[in-house]
């Protein structure tokens, strides 16, 4: 459904951000893209909705070359919530920000009203409906970006650093949102440094370094490789570190409850 074929990209300042990327992402899957700052993660996902076009190679979304589609055409199918909300928000009120896409995609007034209410309530923004987005906190701005994108129900959702500024409760809401999308056959792509957040989701994981994909596979397998961790300057999730120290299969400990239960069993058995 999403395909990169020999894609390279160079910024206007001459810095090469992507180097010969070959990648396929299938419909209905969850993919995480990780790596240190400057690795090329955001540049890569901005090729999916046409904000950037490859200097070399081709990107195809739903079988169509992105060079043959406008950003507006791609945006109806591919929604992206930027890392920095201030680069995305522009309307005078939270309500108008959320309605912008719905109106532009020609939805009926009834459907606009229904989707607006769902989005504002789900992301705890209903009390701010008449407030300027610029007056929201950083975390609230981030959730408004989610609301404005999710309201039009795109087939592909890209979240760039979604947990920045979010407390535990709202991180759980984001997880719930992602799982709901996957249950509906949607595709989700997450760019994140927050490996603790990603670990329970166990997504397919792409590790990037210097504009290249240096590892691709199940998260537990990819992050268990010492060379990959070192090359991408990553810090393993604590549950994975614990599994490695206990000489367990890395996917045994997917959450804290499982870890606590295992440690308790082992401590009792050692008496």
What's residue 167's pLDDT? Answer: 92
Neighbours of 172 (CB within 10 A): 12
- Domains by residue range for the chain, with CATH: 2-234 (3.40.50.300), 237-271 (no CATH)
Helix, strand, coil: what percent of the chain each, to 5? 45, 20, 35
Percent of the chain with pLDDT over 90: 80
Neighbours of 147 (CB within 10 A): 23
**pLDDT surpasses 90 at 253:** no
Q: How far apart are CA 97 and CA 93, in angstroms?
A: 6
- Whether pTM > 0.85 for this model: the answer is yes
Q: How far apart are CA 263 and CA 77, in angstroms?
A: 45
In order of 29, 74, 80, 181, 217, the CA distances from 184 in angstroms are 11, 20, 18, 5, 23
Task: For 145-164, write each residue's pLDDT tens digit.
Answer: 999 999 989 999 999 999 99
- Residue 266's pLDDT band (boundaries 50, 70, 90)? low
Task: For 174-230, write each residue's pLDDT tens digit.
Answer: 999 999 999 999 999 999 999 999 999 999 999 999 999 999 999 999 999 999 999
Ramachandran region, residue 230 (left: φ > 0; alpha: ψ -120 to 50; beta: rest): alpha
The residues near 127 (Cβ < 8 Å, ≥ 6 apart) are none
Cα 153 → chain centroid: 15
Residues 219-225: contacts with CB under 8 Å, at least 24 apart: 219/32, 220/249, 220/250, 220/251, 221/250, 223/195, 223/250, 224/250
Structure tokens that stand for 203 in this block: 């997504």
């Amino acid at each position: 459904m999403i395909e990169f074929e020999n894609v390279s990209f160079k910024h206007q300042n001459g810095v090469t951000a992507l180097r010969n990327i070959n990648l396929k992402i299938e419909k209905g899957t969850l993919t995480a893209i990780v790596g240190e700052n400057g690795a090329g993660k955001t540049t890569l996902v901005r090729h999916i909705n046409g904000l950037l076009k490859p200097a070399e190679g081709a990107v195809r979304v739903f079988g169509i070359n992105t060079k043959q589609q406008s950003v507006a055409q791609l945006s109806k199918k591919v929604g992206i919530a930027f890392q920095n909300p201030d680069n995305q928000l522009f309307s005078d009120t939270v309500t108008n920000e959320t309605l912008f896409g719905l109106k532009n995609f020609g939805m009926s007034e009834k459907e606009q009203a229904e989707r607006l209410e769902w989005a504002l309530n789900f992301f705890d923004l209903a009390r701010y409906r008449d407030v300027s987005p610029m007056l929201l906190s950083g975390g609230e701005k981030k959730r408004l970006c989610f609301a404005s994108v999710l309201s039009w129900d795109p087939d592909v959702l890209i979240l760039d650093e979604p947990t920045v500024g979010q407390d535990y409760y709202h991180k759980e809401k984001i997880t719930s949102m992602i799982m709901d999308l996957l249950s509906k056959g949607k595709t989700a792509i997450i760019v994140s440094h927050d490996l603790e957040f990603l670990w329970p989701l166990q997504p397919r994981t792409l590790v990037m370094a210097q504009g290249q994909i240096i590892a691709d596979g199940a998260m537990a397998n990819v992050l268990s490789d010492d060379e990959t961790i070192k090359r991408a300057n990553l810090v393993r999730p604590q549950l994975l570190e614990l599994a490695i120290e206990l000489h367990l299969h890395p996917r045994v400990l997917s959450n804290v409850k499982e870890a606590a239960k295992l440690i308790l069993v082992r401590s009792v058995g050692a008496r």
